Amino acid sequence: MYPPLSATATVYPQILYFSQMEQEPNPKYFMPDYSGTLPDHRLEVRAEKLSRQLSNTPSSSIRKLSTTAAEHKANLRFLNNERVEEEILVKEASDRVRQLVKGRHVLVVTDTCEVNMSGHKGRLKPNSGLGRSDKSDTSHCFKIHPGMVMDAGSLNPLGFSWIKVFHRDDQMPDRNERNYKKQPIEEKESYKWIEVAQKSKEVLAEAATVTFIEDREGDIYEQFALIPDEKHHLIIRSRTTRNLANGNNLYAQVDATAVAGVYTIEVPTDKRKQQYKRKASIELRFTTCEIKCPVKVSNKGYPPSITVTCISAKEIGNASNSISWKLLTTHRIEKFEEALQIVYWYSVRWYIEQVFRLLKHQGFGIEESELESGWALRKLVIMQLSALLKILQMNIAYSQPEGGQPIEEVFDEEQIEVLHKLNRKLQGNTKKLSNNFNPKTTKWATWIIAKLGGWKGYESQGPPGVIVLKRGLERLGYIIEGIKLEKDVGTR
């Protein structure tokens, strides 16, 4: 997956669609608010404190998050409290984004991430919300399948419409024992795509248009039958070719279509994939067709065929790891610019991968957490998703010429005050190494936090990544704590 075309495209920048809602969202909707959601006011106070700690000090270590031994115990009690239910935490997050989408065209990017706690299996309590992994070599895992909401025009992250958290039962029969192919979709794990989309439709009822963006695993005929309507659309990367109602083969038909246009992107360096920076020319084709209902679900009441547009984006030449996407969409496509818009929107799926990266390893380090209960870990992850939104907002803001969201939507007054003081100290000796961005934007704050995280600011270094921003945000938290401590000592 590559970064959105807005950061790399060399042609057709004018095609991007903008939100129908011009007013800026109220910053309070980016801050968790548990008032009236939990069965005890003390739990609500603790939830808000823990949320602030996660935002200021991105971590999965409760000891590291807590400033005192008493606070450490209080945070552990909160996460292990049975009255603090996953559904309550999920609903709090979805209720906030519900109030941000009125009149907007929003993208809902969904995917699945496995949290594998097998490295702590000797500590984990049995029967506590953990199950088998994809590799079936451990029974100490759970999965999350969130729907991340973004404004279709600005790409500003707005929150999460729904978060499904689940695990595979250790005793679950294998595919053959369950006769998987004949199972109703509601009994399959793949139903997660439909379930999260349906929940999201309820939450985003006030939006003008909702477009769901999914990878190949979401290419399910039942989903094309159940989710789209005039307001709700799908953009899904095709998993395999399909039979068409006219007797043709989907891939053969789109490949035989004339090239609608060519565009150019810059592919970034990715040493993990032995991929090096290059300019790639992409041929775009598209065709509208009727995909035929598969035989295995033909007797389950679904329509015999569904109209979609298939878009082929294929790199010209024989580069290693060359780009080749086939996308299925329910949006009406009649010209090249509209097809390119769909490719652009699909490319923002890269951000959900960044979300999962932030949850693990060098980010929040959820798989290194020393919590002993799977249920507690699952609740912590739900709260972390809201906290890491700030890092994603910074990452996106730095790629936007206008500087992303207003700074007040992402940082509180105390943080902004400290950022202004740090900015004066971090300026370089030349204009290129100085913070030349508008202080009212998130991009200005991102430059400072990136410097705190170890980014040097050289053009050759590229823009700051999410892990650098996570380190910088963590350091900012320590600096603020130091300032508070100095004030406390000075008043004694």
Rounded Cα–Cα distance for residues 174 and 181 (Å): 12
Q: What is this structure's pTM?
A: 0.89
Joined together, the tokens standing for residue 194 give 């439909």
Residue 444 lies in a domain: yes
469 in Cβ contact with 449 (< 8 Å): yes
* Most distant pair of Cα atoms in the chain: their distance: 84
322/230 same-domain check: yes
Q: Look at the block and give the residue holding tokens 């130091």.
A: 482
Bridge-based pairing of strands 113-116 and 305-315 is unpaired
CATH of the domain at 349: 3.90.350.10
Domain of residue 414, CATH code: 1.10.740.10
Domain count, the chain: 2
Structural domain includes residue 491: no
Q: Are residues 73 and 30 in the same domain?
A: yes
CA distances from 128 to 131, 472, 476 (A): 9, 34, 35
Count the helices and strands in the chain (H runs, E runs): 15, 10
Tell which of 388, 413, 435 closes a domain.
388
Looking at the fold, whether 452 and 382 belong to one and the same domain comes out as no
Q: Going by DSSP bridges, is the β-strand pair 209-214/105-110 parallel, antiparallel, or unpaired?
A: parallel
Residue 492 in domain: no
What is the chain's pLDDT, residue by residue, as a tens digit (492 residues)? 444 443 333 333 333 333 334 445 566 677 899 999 999 999 999 999 999 899 888 889 999 899 899 999 999 999 999 999 999 999 999 999 999 999 999 999 999 999 999 888 888 998 899 998 877 667 899 999 999 999 999 888 999 999 999 998 877 666 656 666 678 888 899 999 999 999 999 999 999 999 999 999 999 999 999 999 999 999 999 999 999 999 999 999 999 999 999 999 887 766 666 666 788 899 999 999 999 999 988 888 899 999 999 999 999 987 677 889 999 999 999 999 999 999 999 999 999 999 999 999 888 999 999 999 999 999 999 999 999 988 999 998 998 888 988 898 888 888 999 999 999 999 988 888 899 999 999 999 999 999 999 999 887 777 898 899 999 998 998 898 888 877 765 555
How many Cα neighbours within 13 Å face the side chain of 291? 25
- Domain boundary among the residues 344, 362, 388 is at 388
Residue 239 — φ and ψ, nearest 5°?
Answer: -85, -35
Structural domain including 459 reads: 401-486
Residue 405 lies in a domain: yes
- Which of 388, 416, 436 is where one domain is finished? 388
Q: Which amino acid is at 291?
A: I
How far apart, in whole angstroms, are the C-alpha atoms of residue 212 and residue 199?
12
In a domain, 395, yes or no: no
**Integer angstrom CA distances of residue 82 from 375, 376, 476, 477:** 9, 9, 33, 30
Q: Residue with structure tokens 């008493």?
A: 70
- What is the Cα 173 distance to its own chain's centre? 31
